[in-house]
Amino acid sequence: MSDIGLAAKPSIGKGFRLQWEPAQNAHVLLYPEGMVKLNGSAGEILKRCDGNRSVSAIVDDLEQAFGASGLSKDVTNFMTYAAAKKWIELRE
Amino acid sequence: MNVPPPPGLDAKAASPPLWLLLELTYRCPLHCAFCYNPTDFAKTSTELGTDDWIRVLREARKLGAVQLGLSGGEPLSRDDLEDIVAEAHTLGFYTNLVTSGVGLNERRISALKQAGLDHIQLSFQDSTRELNDFLSSTRTFDLKAKVAALIKQHDYPMVLNVVLHRLNIDHVEAILEMAERMGADYLELANTQYYGWAWHNRDQLLPSREQVERAEQATARFRERVGERMKVYFVVPDYFERRPKPCMNGLGSIFLTVTPDGTALPCHAAKMLPGLDFPNVKQHPVDWIWRDSPAFNHYRGDSWMKEPCRSCPEKHKDFGGCRCQAYLMTGDAANADPVCDKSPHHHLVEEAVARAGRTSPDRTRTEKPVLIFRDARNSRTISGCNG
């Protein structure tokens, strides 16, 4: 799996659905007959993968929302993992 | 159905029933000899109405249920399936239709898509028309192939399920190629689990160890060639293991089934377990059934366990295995699942496997094994019921 380009626009993968579950107090990713319970940062990243925003825009947004900097590496690492699992699809 | 435990969730008392399985009907155009439905299904003469199913959906969703399986029987036998899907979708369920494909035409798949159906799992019995139709005691192979194309056309991920056993496990390579030709995204090769009709036909269906190994090798070769394009799940038959499966992640932990007449079960096979009075959704709210009913609490946690489970360091990993298998094979549902080699009854599993190894699969095939097919007449004969 190659590195994720900052211009790519990620969206939730076909057949997957992201939603907030109050009973679990977490975002979950639903797919055919299965579910992944996401930790806080994974949920924050994935909920921004709407197919309109680029990876760099998502990084900027997260840094602003959490008053942090230098998140780029963490975000692209997670996205590489998520893309391999087909949780997200990337369009250049 | 294979239910992987969701990562990061403990089997705590009365955690949410994340998985809701509605067996909408026992009516089915197929008569598969490996069906897990209870052999006395013909005793069930009534089915819940649309309003009852919708109430169950609402109550279960409130408890945190999120994955919904719509199964049966053949769920398409119900003409209110679209209404049930629409309500489930609005409530936020991820909706999975588990179907033989019989009854799925252009009109219904469009309506289901519009209602918000997320996913269709289509069963095949084999890669050949001959064996598919023999095993299901129907002529459905060509129809299923058409339905597979329809699923693809409507932009659903294509998820095929083939139940494996002695009579088709040697065709795994051809089954994998069939799935690839059809453009499947996922293929579940689910070895038969021996409950219901499959238990009745076990000695005709259990493969030999060599057959299982060959099938695993063929699957590994296919995975290497095809890579990520198609995901293949090979569900190993537990009879060939030395530790039991963490069945349902422990009863009453994540899984709730409602049968056609409204009986609530902690596992789709659990109705056979003796001494438990399984509540009905027509008499009790789902909340009470899940949290408070004695039947759902009976096998929660580990206080019900006997030795060797009680003192076993792995008891929170596999929860003692499957209660139904323990009951079917040892007569006591609180015993260790005899698949476990720590169980004093493990020899029963070994003997069944040894018997399977002595009968050549070729002979079984040429002699046409005497399978008891799942139909209402056989159901009444087996369960001694004339209704």
At residue B55, the pLDDT reads: 98
Average pLDDT over every residue of B329-348? 97
* pLDDT at position B157: 84
- pLDDT computed for residue B369 by the predictor: 65
**In whole angstroms, what is the distance from residue B193 CA to residue B36 CA?**
8
Q: Given B8, B69, B118, which is nearest A17 (Cβ)?
A: B118
Site of tokens 């936020």: B92
Q: What is the pTM of this model?
A: 0.90
Contacts of A14 (CB under 8 A, 6+ apart): A86, A89, B155, B157
Chain A residues whose beta carbon lies within 8 Å of the beta carbon of residue B157: 14-15, 32
Cβ contact B20:B256 at 8 Å:
yes
Closest CA to B144 of B180, B188, B99: B99
Contact B121 A33 (CB under 8 A): yes
Contact of B278 with B271, CB cutoff 8 Å: yes
pLDDT level of residue B329 (50, 70, 90 thresholds): very high
Asked if the C-beta of B9 comes within 8 angstroms of chain A's C-beta atoms, the answer is yes
Q: State how far the Cα of A91 lies from the Cα of A51, in Å rounded to an integer.
A: 8
- CA–CA dist B196, B173 (Å, integer): 28
Return residues 17-56 of A near B (CB < 8 Å): 17, 19, 21-24, 28, 30-37
What pLDDT score was predicted for residue B376? 85
- What stretches in chain A show pLDDT beneath 70? 1-2
- Say how far residue B374 (Cα) sits from the centre of its chain: 15
Residue reference for tokens 């009973």? A23
Say if the Cβ atoms of A32 and B96 lie within 8 Å.
yes
Q: Where is average pLDDT lowest: B32-46, B96-110, B155-169, B225-239? A: B32-46
Q: Among partner residues B6, B8, B159, which is closest to A32 by beta-carbon distance?
A: B159
Given a cut of 50, whether residue B12 has pLDDT beyond it is no
Q: Which has the closest alpha carbon to B259: B288, B289, B291, B299?
A: B289
The pLDDT confidence band at residue B130, using thresholds 50, 70 and 90, is confident
Asked if the ipTM is above 0.85, the reply is: yes
User: What DSSP letter does each residue of B335-384 carry, written as one string?
Assistant: SPPTTSTTSTTHHHHHHHHHHHHHS-HHHHHHT-------SHHHHHHHHT
Interface test with A, best of B20, B61, B63, B66 (most A CBs within 10 A): B66
Helices (H), B185-332: 196-200, 202-205, 209-226, 286-291, 294-297, 315-318, 323-330
Q: Is B128 left (phi over 0), alpha (psi -120 to 50) or beta?
A: beta
Whether residue B73 is preceded by a cis peptide bond, meaning omega within 30 degrees of 0, is yes
Task: Please give the residue of chain B at the shortest CA–CA distance from A16.
Answer: B118
| Partners of residue B97 in chain A, C-beta under 8 Å | none
Average pLDDT along chain B: 90
- For B140, the token pair is 């459905």
Sorting pLDDT into bands at 50, 70 and 90, what band is B38?
confident
Dist. CA B231–CA B34, nearest whole Å = 24
- State how far the Cα of B77 lies from the Cα of B84, in Å rounded to an integer: 13
Sign of CA dihedral B309, B312, B316, B318: negative
Give the Cα separation of B115 and B107 in Å (integer): 12
Q: With a cut of 70, say whether residue B361 has pLDDT above it.
A: no
The DSSP annotation for B231-252 comes to EEEEE--GGG-SS---GGGSTT
Q: Does B8 touch chain A (CB under 8 A)?
A: yes
Specify whether the CB–CB gap between B201 and B372 falls below 8 A: yes
User: Hunting for tokens 């799935």 — which residue is that?
Assistant: B179
